[in-house]
Amino acid sequence: MIIMTLTALLPQLRPPPCTHEGQLHGQCVGHNKAQLGILIASLCWLSIGTGGIKPCSIPFSVDQFDLTTEEGRKGNNSFYNLYYTTQTIVLLITQTVVVYIQNDISWALGFGIPALCMLFAIVLFFVGTKVYIYIKPEGSVFAAVAQVFVAAYKKRQLNLPADEVDGQFYNPPFSRSLLPELHLTRQYSCLNKAALIVGDEVKQDGLCENPWRLCSGQQVENVKCLINIIPIWLTSVLGFLAMNQQGTFTVAQALKMDLQFGPSIKIPAGSVGVITLIAIAIWLPFYDRVVVAALEKVTKQEGGITLLQRIGIGNLFSILTMLVSGFIETERRLSALSHGGTDGIAPMTVMWLTPQLILIGFSEIFSIVGLIEFYNKQFPEHMRSIGNSLIYLTFSFASYASSIVISVVHDVSARHGSNWLSDDINTSKLDYFYFLIAGISSLNFLFFLFCARRYHYRSSVKLM
């Protein structure tokens, strides 16, 4: 952020300004290699820093809760909602206040303020180093997963005992007192052979002789957790398609609507997404403090509903978002064509987009926050950072999937004479595209229900 601030502050680090006339005639002076290199370096440093903070911040925060106590679990449950609420409020500020400063006051100041905030956050982080709970790393997580499959394969000819008897399976003392201990289950029982003790595989000190031939029951159950999570993760990729469409086409819709709000306020088309952020910032704390408490009294379930139920509700909201978006777009397009031709502006206020923007906010509240909590509670403790990185990997894959769907729809519909996604939104059939995404999301939801019914939550016991 400091380098980016300097590129905005120092004229030597950016191309000289150019007038609009110069842009039209191609007379602007471009950047040199040094200027481009400095900008790319700043973006690389920002990416590296973000890649270190985002996947690890939530697991580190969760480590501060004692999950073996009721108070610790309640605090942990509220943490995910609080985390996403804070993130949404910060994003709301950056898209309004910071953008205003960059456009109307100072471009350099618009970068300098986030840089100072980051510096303050770093200082605040190090102030608390003496009170943090640190969980020591336990080696390579990928090696631990591979060891289970290798050990189970080497013992594939062995038969599992009908009843579990103490001493038959390797179960060394569990050393991490703040985390729940897992015990062997019958699910994917072939993997249990990795923990089956044969001969003198356990040394006198209680440790295994060869970790590639004998694994602990905890280690085996951790691998089972990964196998169970993969189908749920796959459904989340298509589940995020609706969110991508709102970010892609909502601005185009707003540009063909009445942007006037009241007698003197004109809403920028690019700012309509702020409605989603406001909805999240208002509803999420209310859901955490009021709705969850009411649901817990009815369902007797910690958190009110299960994690997969929360994700499923988010998927339903995404389907509803696409349906509502399609109906609103139908009215907008017909209104625009009837009042001004293909280039006409629909005499509909841009606030007609509010329902779909609020609904997609609800989808985020249940889907994204639900997935964050799901990964952090269901992933093995030492793999939580990988679980959190799956969230951002899901966004990436959803973007690629969205691009593929848009390209296919664009090409196929154009060959049949009516391009659903032409450059002019008034001559397009964007509403048909929205309904198509709703159909894809519905099929994905059915697959999610199938996976959710087969999913086995991690079983745990309280440690004394």
pLDDT digits (tens, 9 = 90+) for 287-311: 888 988 898 888 888 788 899 999 9
pLDDT recorded at residue 448: 94
CB-based burial of residue 350 (10 Å sphere; 0-12 exposed, 13-18 middle, 19+ buried)?
A: buried
Rounded CA separation 395/237 (Å): 7
Mean pLDDT of 356-384: 88
pLDDT tens digits, 12-44: 888 887 776 766 677 777 778 888 888 888 889
- Give per-residue pLDDT as tens, 105-122: 888 888 888 889 989 989
DSSP line for 43-67: HHHHHHHHHHHHHHHHHHHHTTS-T
Kindly state the percentage of the chain with pLDDT values over 70: 92
**What pLDDT was estimated at residue 462?**
36
Residue 255 CB-density burial (10 A; 0-12 exposed, 13-18 middle, 19+ buried)? middle
Q: 0.85 cut: is pTM over it?
A: no
The pLDDT of residue 141 is 78
In CATH, 228-459 is 1.20.1250.20: yes
Average pLDDT over residues 237-262: 85
What pLDDT, on the 0 to 100 scale, is given for residue 463? 32
With both helix axes pointing from N to C terminus, report the angle between 33-62 and 354-378 in degrees, rounded to the nearest 10.
60
Pairing relation of β-strands 257-258 and 260-261? Answer: unpaired
Statement: residue 178 has pLDDT above 60: no
Torsion of CA 333, 339, 344, 348, to 10 degrees: -60
- In the chain, the amino acid numbered 289 is R
Given a cut of 60, whether residue 349 has pLDDT beyond it is: yes
pLDDT mean across residues, the chain: 84
Confidence bin at 164 (pLDDT 50/70/90)? low
| Token pair recorded at residue 100 | 């205003």
Residue range 258-280: average pLDDT?
Answer: 85
What CA–CA distance (Å, rounded) separates 328 from 438?
Answer: 14
| pLDDT of the residue at 176 | 54
> Can you tell me the mean pLDDT for 150-167?
81
Cα separation, 424 vs 342, in Å, equals 8
Half-sphere exposure of 48 (CA within 13 A, CB side): 7
Q: Residue 180's pLDDT band (boundaries 50, 70, 90)?
A: low
Tokens, residue 47:
């990416």
pLDDT of residue 62: 82
Using the 8-state DSSP alphabet, how is residue 160 labeled?
P
Per-domain residue ranges of the chain: 1-19+31-135, 139-215, 228-459
CA distance 54 to 90: 14
DSSP 11: G
Residue 37 identity (one-letter amino acid): G
Residues in the chain, how many? 464
Return d(Cα 250, Cα 242) in angstroms, integer.
11
Q: Which of 89, 446, 436 is nearest to 242 (CA)?
A: 436
